[in-house]
Structure 1
């Protein structure tokens, strides 16, 4: 027999659950930024947006419009032709065009250009914590494309994006992408090209996943490593084209563990890639610094296509 009022209590619980699930999205706003909109500057939208909102940026150039984003959950996307954010000598907190403090952010269809700071590490985006997904974006002529924290827990996902044209500076090393000691980075279907002295992709993450990318410096590029994994970790590199220019600063395409380990597990999978070296008289397609680890990292290397003169880590190293 049903207790008096039990049905009504169940209805109240169901209603409360429904409201808890739907109310945040129902209260979310869309803020639109554009030359003829109420909001003409991205920085103003960053100040006004609430958790769960969406910020839409209309086509055009946004010069010196730098911002710090403090929301816990936000989507920021360009509408139509990709809007271009040009640093024009400005930076948020002396760090970047955008600083993302600590939240779950989704960025789509945006272009970042020309970030410079006196320290030499001016980023398009300084990602300081949380989870960041970047889709269909471009990072051109920045001292750093994206630069992350070393918090050990953050995650970064990059899809269908382009990183290119490192500035020709001598006082520091410009990396197209510099991932610090975060938990995980995944890079898919993206392009990295035309570096200078620094690396195209550098990751200190506990887990680094690179799938189906074009990491190709190009004939005018002068990058050092194409992929640098200085602290090892769990790295999976599959289905990529990785190519080094004859003008490289360092004749190694992929380097693993050059600075020693910081993670409890270290393993590298390198499969189904096309590896190209234009270096003469030759270099390394892959260099694993096994002597920098207390226990040699596990290696799974095979089915890679190589072009040019170079050394690939010996096959016997994969037997562990």
Structure 2
């Protein structure tokens, strides 16, 4: 029988089939009986599937309290545009139900009076996002601090943040039970972080976190209260215009959770900051830290800490890759780094060897065989 932890991991990676829908179905669109998302939110009950015709839904904000709810775009992208509207002063969508799923939606213009608006505010329950996009919001997605919340993000795009002057983030996850992010693209931050998680458990797998030209993110990846973080198979790039010399930070605001562990495995980390800086900042001395099979590119420094487990981490020159200037960070066929990966074992029920790799612009694909090379890319 499949364990719950294994099932959660497979679901987060998009590798589990979804069961057939047996509940009520609502259809939304300009030619349907229901013409707005807000009307569908009022009419939907637990177990409803809401099928939304592609197009722009301007000022069409909603609160979704239903359990086992599915929102799915039909015939193309569904674009939810704020245009000054917001739900509960929080964002475009506010979700509170358990086992909700949203697929094929784009959110833009999440702006509220307190400047902490979001495309989606996850207030309670659990949510799975698949192939969704966030652009020009104060925050892409923001969760409450609720230790029962679970959030899965698969193949999503968290794009440019509005320059509103606040410490806003592409993804800000509060003190929740679990976060899993796979195959997603985080870029063009503005003063805040590309991905900030206070979750007890965070699995950040096969993503691209890169501030890009003109981006001004602080950290690319932060776990301010520690917890257990598995960071594997990611391309993480700091821009030349970053607001912070650190790329990854762990535990800087205090260790909230009893278990403190960071597993940084099979990532490609790229520094474009002219004066260089620091790859990793870990504050709680009791944290277990493993760095294995990572590639470090650029002028950053990795602090020495004898308590950390480190193996098969390499500093790579730009010419070690197929075409770094075009951001193709696959190791070149003749690179001496090929085949240098070592077995990193298992942690927290996850084998610390990638089975997928990121595929731009926001997806992941299965590997043809076992991971042999350091870094995020094996093909």
Q: CA–CA distance in 1 between the matches of 2:61 and 2:29?
A: 15
Q: CA–CA distance in 2 between the matches of 1:290 and 1:262?
A: 10
Structure 1 position 205 matched with structure 2 position 195: no
Aligned residues of 1:301 and 1:315 also touching (Cα < 8 A): no
Structure 1 position 144 matched with structure 2 position 139: yes
Structure 1 position 299 matched with structure 2 position 293: no
Q: Where in structure 2 are there 5+ consecutive unaligned residues? A: 1-19, 311-379
Aligned residues of 1:199 and 1:224 also touching (Cα < 8 A): yes
Specify the alignment match of 1:81 in structure 2. 76
Number of residue-to-residue matches in the alignment: 291
Specify the alignment match of 1:280 in structure 2. 274
More helix, by proportion: 1
* Match for residue 103 of structure 2 among 99, 105, 108: 108
Q: CA–CA distance in 2 between the matches of 1:224 and 1:209?
A: 21
Question: Deviation at 1:72?
Answer: 1.6
Q: Map 1:34-53 onto structure 2 (within 5 A).
A: 34-53=29-48
Specify the alignment match of 1:21 in structure 2. none
Aligned residues of 1:100 and 1:128 also touching (Cα < 8 A): yes
Q: CA–CA distance in 2 between the matches of 1:206 and 1:161?
A: 22
Q: CA–CA distance in 2 between the matches of 1:144 and 1:206?
A: 21
Specify the alignment match of 1:229 in structure 2. 223
Question: Deviation at 1:315?
Answer: 5.7
Cα displacement string for residues 116-168 of structure 1 (whole angstroms, at most 9, x for unaligned residues): 01111101111011110000000111111111111112100000000010111
Cα displacement string for residues 215-237 of structure 1 (whole angstroms, at most 9, x for unaligned residues): 01101111100001100000000
Q: CA–CA distance in 2 between the matches of 1:25 and 1:283?
A: 50
User: SS of the counterpart of 2:45?
Assistant: coil
Structure 1 position 193 matched with structure 2 position 187: yes
Aligned residues of 2:291 and 2:309 also touching (Cα < 8 A): no
Cα displacement string for residues 33-79 of structure 1 (whole angstroms, at most 9, x for unaligned residues): 11111111000000101111100110110000000111122000111
Specify the alignment match of 1:132 in structure 2. 127
Q: CA–CA distance in 2 between the matches of 1:87 and 1:78?
A: 18
Q: Where in structure 1 are there 5+ consecutive unaligned residues? A: 1-23
Cα displacement string for residues 157-197 of structure 1 (whole angstroms, at most 9, x for unaligned residues): 00000001011121x21100000000000000000001110
Q: Map 1:149-298 onto structure 2 (within 5 A).
A: 149-170=144-165, 172-291=166-285, 296-298=286-288
TM-score of the aligned structures, taking structure 2 as reference length: 0.75
Q: What's the Cα RMSD here?
A: 1.4
Q: Map 1:111-122 onto structure 2 (within 5 A).
A: 111-122=106-117
Q: Which has the larger radius of gyration?
A: 1
Where does structure 1 differ by over 3 angstroms across 4 or more consecutive aligned residues?
none
Q: CA–CA distance in 2 between the matches of 1:241 and 1:216?
A: 8
Q: CA–CA distance in 1 between the matches of 2:247 and 2:307?
A: 18
Specify the alignment match of 2:61 in structure 1. 66
Question: Deviation at 1:317?
Answer: 3.0
Question: Deviation at 1:316?
Answer: 2.4
